[in-house]
Amino acid sequence: MQLVKNQKKSSLLIPAAVCVAVILVSLIMAAGTATAAPAATVGVVDYDRLMTSHPDMPQANEALKAASEQANKELAAQAANLSDKEKQDLIAQLEQRVELKRQALMIAIADKVNAAIKETGEAKGLKIVIQKDIVAYGGLDITDEVLKKITGK
């Protein structure tokens, strides 16, 4: 039994989505209500695309894979001498350690993406930048400009 199953890239973005939600609420509170702002002052970004395209993402995925493999090795080495309850406790401990590693890696990337979004938004004179997938209509899409900033391309 493998301790930590391979996760899809989208599952790596859950902490990033939480960070974005917190930032969005802060920005909305600072700028007033989003509905009161004219369309020209609202920017939108494809946050998932920015996260998965960030140059640090492959390195983060490798580090997460290594942490998962290390946890599996530790489990294999210790499992033979443990009771079922002790094995379950060890699995939970190792899974938590891998999850904390994943969160730290994703938050570090999200911080860089958020900084690039803020910098690009301010340069464009935008009062608020929100995730593109929650906007039904309008807003200036700055995803490509932010992507150029974070990838250098």
Q: Is residue 26 domain-resident?
A: yes
CB atoms within 10 A of CB 109: 23
Q: Report pLDDT for 47.
A: 96
Domains of the chain: total: 1
Rg of the chain over Cα atoms, rounded to whole angstroms, equals: 20
Give per-residue pLDDT as tens, 96-118: 999 999 999 999 999 999 999 99
The confidence band for 153, taking pLDDT boundaries of 50, 70 and 90, is confident
Q: Is residue 3 domain-resident?
A: no
pTM of the model as a whole: 0.69
Residue 119: pLDDT over 70:
yes
Rounded to 5°, the CA angle 130-134-137 comes to 90
Q: Is residue 4 domain-resident?
A: no
Q: Report pLDDT for 71.
A: 94
Give per-residue pLDDT as tens, 35-88: 544 446 899 999 999 999 999 999 999 999 999 999 999 999 988 888 889 999
Residue 144: pLDDT over 70:
yes
Domain containing 130 — which CATH number?
Answer: 3.30.910.20
